[in-house]
Structure 1
Amino acid sequence: MKWKDWDRNLKVRLFGEFLTNVLFWMFFPFMAIYFSEHLGKELAGILLIASQLVGVFTGLIGGYCADKFGRKKMMTISMFGQGISFVCFALANSPWLESAMLSFICFSALGFFGSFYWPASHAMVADVVPEKHRNEVFAVFYTAINISVVIGPILGGILFFEHRFALLIASAAASFLMTVLIYKLIRETVPIYKEEVSTGTEKQKSNLRHVIKEQLKDYKVIANDKAFLLFIGGGIFAAQAFMQMDLLLAVYMHEKVPLQELFSIGDWSVSVEGEKAFGWIIAENGLLVALFTVFISKWMTKYNERNVFVISSCLYGVAMLLFGYTISIWVIAFGMLIFTVAELMVVGIQESFIAKVSPEHMRGQYFAAGSLRFAIGRAIAPIAIPLTVWIGYEWTFNILFLSTLLGALMYVWTFRLIRIRKIS
């Protein structure tokens, strides 16, 4: 699908989301380090789990709202809310005030509003892009995000710890700019769907009780889709390993990786340690994703979806083992290569899979339910941080490895049920 054929909604979002993501990745990878240092590993882990559990439920509400009230409206409200959250976040790290707990509240608020943004955003792509081009478009958006992942962590390794207030103010400004762009330039794309009502029955008012009742009724339909539930389950185990890139790996490298020489030319050399080394590893992930997302996404469409999901989950497990048994930056970098291959294998097909199995009028809710893979994965993932205090890093990484194998088995069962359903 050529650029000139893209809907304007997609072009505006691609520009705006790239800008906000560059700033986002300048602080996000270092939050686990920040909270662990200021609040302690145990408390940081508990609070991060609590905030992500809230995200599980708000993500479902976000999908409902995207279907009922419109993609554009929810994206506008969400981005404005993120702007306000960034302003408060900046004040909590300003020359006048420094509060780790207020920072945590603001960080959680960003996740809350993000839960309303992404179901609408993904559903909008499915609304305006024909099915045969969706893999490609999703892959381009993913590439743009990961170009920001190349730039953000390297700059963030310096700016987050030395100029946090200015960084967060810039993020607030970008969020407000994105709010204006969505409001002014993007059109609504939600499909028109009329529910049948009994004769003589008055239309119910959209009060909170009615919204919740209707939401639970619609999600009951999804809950009865056993294959889709298993797909979510497999995705949760893969996602909780993926989330360790910004959690356990960050803390592990900060604490365990000593000063090392990356490379040298004559008398000139580059040496890094701790969080700066972590910034380079995250940048490696972003660079590989930016370079190879579209290529690998197209390549994976040639293979059986089940095999792609299963192999991806197993590769996450191999990467976990490599991370947990070394302090060498180069071995960790090799582990990140395997980790990134696992990530890229499913970039395009996972969103396309959801779009394919979801009814058109419930697409936003299916995407929201599908996002439970990441929401619950994020909720489980912070357990790894306090777990290292109790059983050590090696055993923690071993548990992560085993969980990815369980996820692979759930993917196998998912596609078996789908095959049985097609035959019947």
Structure 2
Amino acid sequence: MKTQLKQIHPLSWTIIIGTIFGRMATSMSIPFLSIYLIKTMGATASQTGIVVAVSSLIGVFASFYGGYISDIIGRKKVLLISVFGWALVFIGFAVADKIWIFFVMNALNGLCRAMFEPTSRALLADITPQESKLLVFNLRYAAVNLGVVFGPILGLQMGASGSSWSFIIAGIVYVFYGVTLIIQFIRYSELGSATSVSSERITLVGAFRAISGDRVFIYVLMGMIFCVLGYGHFSSTLAQFMEMSPRIEDGATWFSYMLSLNAIVVLACQFPIVKYASKLPPVIPLILGSIFVSSSLLIFGIFQSFIGLMVGVILFTIGEVLMFTMNDVLIDHIAKPELRGTYFGMIGFNNLGNVMAPLLGGFLLDALGADSSVIIFTIIAVTSAFGIPFLLSANRIMTKQ
């Protein structure tokens, strides 16, 4: 472990530490967006679902291009554009006074994320020795959740469900993150440039055809769309349900505690789970994760007690860890080296799940009402499990190979 830690590049540490503060800033504002729109802006559940969904919708179509363009023009340019663009987006959230402005800002939020996420993960893969990649990807995932431990609590203290201050602070954090990246890129000027001459010759259509012909990757992608569908209900449908349910008082407070518990359980369980999951065939953890997430959604619908909801969060989090900690390593294993950024970008199509989650959840809440929690959460639990057959097919092909 110590040897692997010493092999981690300083730029990788910058991304990992920057992820802590970036996610802390984001999680004290964006998770409360649904509640803010309903409570402060007077939006309906369907309107809120559309605003929340547009971020993921943009991400679906932009992620592939974001990863591809980083293979062509270099990771550095894409990272800096997306980080400073993010800062402007959060300032835009802070000054927005109409629902359509929130729609536009969240669309840009999705664009920035679609550019930053695959590029940062591809850069980590570029500069990390093979034997340290599992550690680096899991440190990054731990950083995400460390930020989420404190973000919702800070957001709650600042009244994020009814105030715009959390958006302003998030914008400032991303400005500092961008400046730090500039300093590191100046110090390590050889990193983050375009990868190679051969990759520059690959057209966007050619890259898409190369990846779409990879059967294992396509099955994994299809399975992950439904995994992310289940995951997406936590921050969209569940958040709206907590605010609308007549059986839950002060849903915003309860939801902030659930977000923090989610992150705490990730930090406590991530490395033991990863140690176990790394011994399994690479697709099996994703299948187990989907089962845990679907089961947790059923619990959210059946039990509205504090203890019941927290048990649901624990099961949900175990599923989340199983699905996402091994995902980056799996994609890096499948990817062709000259198209690594493109593969990480293409997996962004799994955000179709994040698009469908708030739309499906918002429709069900409007059509059936928050009183019909058992029916609503049974439907979303069943649909979330639809990815398991695709993942089983991917596992079958990889076993034969």
Q: CA deviation at 1:417?
A: 2.1
Deviations 1:64-99 (A, max 9, x none): 11111111110001001111112222222xxxxx33
Q: Does 1:194 align with 2:197?
A: yes
Q: Does 1:233 align with 2:222?
A: yes
Output aligned runs, 1:403-414, within 5 Å: 403-414=383-394
**Aligned partners of 2:286 and 2:324 also within 8 Å:** no
**Aligned partners of 1:62 and 1:116 also within 8 Å:** yes
Distance 1:222 1:161 in 2: 41
Deviations 1:317-340 (A, max 9, x none): 110110011211110100111111
Partner in structure 2 of residue 118 of structure 1 = 117
> Highest Rg: 1 or 2?
1
The alignment covers a number of residue pairs equal to 389
**Aligned partners of 1:258 and 1:273 also within 8 Å:** no
Q: CA deviation at 1:190?
A: 5.5
- TM-score, with structure 2 as normaliser: 0.91
Q: 1:216 aligns with which of 167, 192, 205?
A: 205
Structure 2 residue identity aligned to 1:379 = V
- TM-score, with structure 1 as normaliser: 0.86
Distance 1:191 1:99 in 2: 40
Structure 1 residue identity aligned to 2:387 = G
Distance 1:137 1:344 in 2: 15
The runs of 5 or more residues in structure 1 that have no matched partner are 93-97, 197-202, 205-212, 260-271
Q: 1:323 aligns with which of 300, 305, 309?
A: 300
**Aligned partners of 2:36 and 2:161 also within 8 Å:** no
Distance 2:182 2:54 in 1: 32
Q: 2:12 aligns with which of 10, 13, 17?
A: 10
Structure 1 residue identity aligned to 2:77 = K
Structure 1 residue identity aligned to 2:8 = W
The runs of 5 or more residues in structure 2 that have no matched partner are none
Partner in structure 2 of residue 254 of structure 1 = 243
Output aligned runs, 1:150-229, within 5 Å: 150-161=149-160, 164-186=163-185, 187=188, 188-189=191-192, 192-195=195-198, 214-229=203-218
Q: CA deviation at 1:163?
A: 7.2
**Aligned partners of 2:284 and 2:395 also within 8 Å:** no
| Structure 1, 164-173 or 235-244: larger mean CA deviation | 164-173
Q: Does 1:88 align with 2:92?
A: yes
Structure 1 residues 163 and 306, CA gap change in structure 2 (3 angstroms): closer
Distance 1:337 1:110 in 2: 28
Q: CA deviation at 1:136?
A: 1.4
Q: CA deviation at 1:303?
A: 1.9
**Aligned partners of 1:26 and 1:160 also within 8 Å:** no
Structure 1 residue identity aligned to 2:274 = S
Query: What RMSD, in angstroms, separates the aligned Cα atoms of the two structures?
Result: 2.1
| Structure 1, 159-168 or 51-60: larger mean CA deviation | 159-168
Q: CA deviation at 1:226?
A: 1.8
Structure 1 residues 180 and 235, CA gap change in structure 2 (3 angstroms): same
Partner in structure 2 of residue 291 of structure 1 = 268
Distance 2:385 2:113 in 1: 29
Partner in structure 2 of residue 376 of structure 1 = 352
Distance 2:327 2:261 in 1: 23
Distance 2:392 2:192 in 1: 35
Q: CA deviation at 1:162?
A: 7.0
**Aligned partners of 1:48 and 1:382 also within 8 Å:** yes
